[in-house]
Structure 1
């Protein structure tokens, strides 16, 4: 009798716990479905550029103290089809790919499988014999750190058509533009880092990123290889017409979503604003998201602290470089509303992400526009960042 009663009580307790768990899961699911708030001033700032014909549309996101406080979409994802821009629209994020690949490098360093001070030739022997333009050998070999801080001397285009392995071996045949570590010059160094990730992990780059970053961070729409369903969600890339009075659709020279043959670690990812928020929040949390450790706090500190000394870096004044990240050292101009120590990266098609650790604010701008001059210093970025900064003050 006592045993029967005990079992009955246990069953009731388990049933109650199960009910609570189900309610918690349902509440979480419902919370995920709840539309995030929209800050009218941010949407209005972006709508101005749509009305002017500068942009077809934009998706903007602001995170503050761990929560999304704004996720807005204005304009069109496709002008010809009159397809509205949506919060879940996917974008070619171009060089916003770089910090993600750099984070993957740091995951492997955490595991003792490599060190950023290692010579690249330890993993890719072709780099043992790299030469300078005059045919002489450099004073020292290129390191992984050189590759991901753009101080390697590697020159030329970051875009390639062959496999990643073939592209990186071809890079080793190019003459270096300068002695490693002596200058900063934007380079295809992250392609080298991406290939090292494949060699060290024994996995294709997409598979490693999916397993170690995208999956744990629930970045469900981030990929080098968008499937047909995802391709329909990608915003069309636009450039100015010949007379400059309208926008015309143009091809994606970095990564054609319908014909991707190899991952481009320098700029090949497609993603949503919300996915990028999750990645940035993980880094802001010192390498953790939802109690899951992705990368060590020490690795995050190393990535997001200056690594380029007094070298002049970046495309706007006042910046320096970490490991794969641009860091705002002296806010000014387009970055004047950000705190010193803010880190992030932009993309060739106008996208931008910033993480301001002082104010715990995340900024994500998603647009698809070519030929904006220096997109890092564009009026679009400044207007978004100023409106977003005003909203959290």
Structure 2
């Protein structure tokens, strides 16, 4: 009897320990998943890529770190809905010697613009906003907007805001609220007739305010509910939490002597977080894993893992050229979609990409591009404030070159 009780007690203890370890393991997996929510991962060969070529990306990025071109980088490549390359090199903080991690958080600056455009296109999908509606329909402060002191010959339309053909110019920095920001932009007026030419602008900031007026929600809350939560983009935010700040990659500028020192350039984008209105033109922080989920949704035609964010028609409209023959963008051969830069004629830094590739860069050298012909997503995250032209940086060029060179077919 005593032996039977002892055996029963041992089995009971074994069961308890097993359950406890299972719960701990499940919690660890849940914590990891809640942090990253990555797309499925696969071997390069499973999606028609050569792993031996992709393996060279790390050493190339490490060389940029050694040359003090950047402090560190996270690179991610996906094809066919699966991540085939995702690595971190260098330092998130040079002074503290904090290594860059795959879940390091970056200020993505103007990579915010396509996300804002997606938010507005959700409302277009729902019939709440029309691309050819006058902006003044939603924002009365634009009813009397002037072009160099005189009334415009044609109305300022919503699509002009999305394509940087509005005539708005000047700083993309926000005021205390988006309402105040937009009122100031309307007072400042336009520098050319809407649709006449392309000039990088705070037009997407105005789109953020339209979202607020139409929905009755704050701009950031609308994005959270309609994009970030459904796509499980856990680390995409305008104001990082204390935990997220512990993973933040620090921004550096390169001195004439070739050293990296903190600060410089558009550092106000980082300093403004939580101090001014969330910036629809450049205020988001994110990670490679989160951005991959957003880009895959777009590449899928508006849906990811059974969750639909946009109609396929809206995605098609967003990602085609709307600017005709106007000269646009920061590299040659580009046109502009609705919040997206579109490669019309690949050349220079885009020469390896397919025509119709679309994406956007950021002031700190971050890049996110989607090649729909090849079903490929390219994500490069760095925090360098004074590239001469971040869209044409040698870091972007090298990453894309190796990624495309890995195509096996």
Residue from 161, 166, 169 that aligns with 1:147: 161
Helix, strand or coil: the match of 2:87?
strand
How far apart in 2 are the matches of 1:220 and 1:101?
A: 17
Residue from 332, 336, 341 that aligns with 2:351: 336
Kept after mapping to 1: 8 A contact 2:174/2:276:
no
2:86 is equivalent to residue 71 of structure 1: yes
Q: 1:161 to 1:232 in 2, by over 3 A?
A: farther
2:238 is equivalent to residue 216 of structure 1: no
Question: Deviation per CA, 1:103-147, whole angstroms, max 9, x where unpaired?
Answer: 0111001111111111110111010111111x2111112111000
How far apart in 1 are the matches of 2:110 and 2:287?
A: 14
How far apart in 2 are the matches of 1:47 and 1:337?
A: 22
TM-score (norm 1): 0.90
2:390 is equivalent to residue 375 of structure 1: yes
The alpha carbon displacement at 1:176 in A equals: 1.1
Helix, strand or coil: the match of 2:270?
coil
Residue from 323, 327, 330 that aligns with 2:342: 327
The alpha carbon displacement at 1:257 in A equals: 6.6
How far apart in 1 are the matches of 2:385 and 2:355?
A: 29
How far apart in 2 are the matches of 1:330 and 1:35?
A: 31
Residue from 220, 238, 247 that aligns with 2:260: 247
2:328 is equivalent to residue 313 of structure 1: yes
Range that drifts further, 368-377 or 58-67: 368-377
How far apart in 2 are the matches of 1:302 and 1:258?
A: 32
How far apart in 2 are the matches of 1:232 and 1:256?
A: 16
Residue from 305, 309, 316 that aligns with 1:294: 309
The alpha carbon displacement at 1:391 in A equals: 2.3
Please, which runs of 5 or more residues in structure 2 have no aligned partner?
Answer: 1-22, 44-50
What corresponds to 1:86 in structure 2?
101
How far apart in 2 are the matches of 1:258 and 1:166?
A: 17
How far apart in 2 are the matches of 1:125 and 1:318?
A: 36
Kept after mapping to 2: 8 A contact 1:231/1:257:
no
Q: 1:312 to 1:35 in 2, by over 3 A?
A: closer
How far apart in 1 are the matches of 2:260 and 2:341?
A: 30
How far apart in 1 are the matches of 2:188 and 2:103?
A: 40
Kept after mapping to 2: 8 A contact 1:93/1:349:
yes
2:181 is equivalent to residue 167 of structure 1: yes
Helix, strand or coil: the match of 1:192?
helix
What corresponds to 1:352 in structure 2?
367
Please, which runs of 5 or more residues in structure 1 have no aligned partner?
Answer: 1-21
Kept after mapping to 2: 8 A contact 1:36/1:71:
no
2:304 is equivalent to residue 275 of structure 1: no
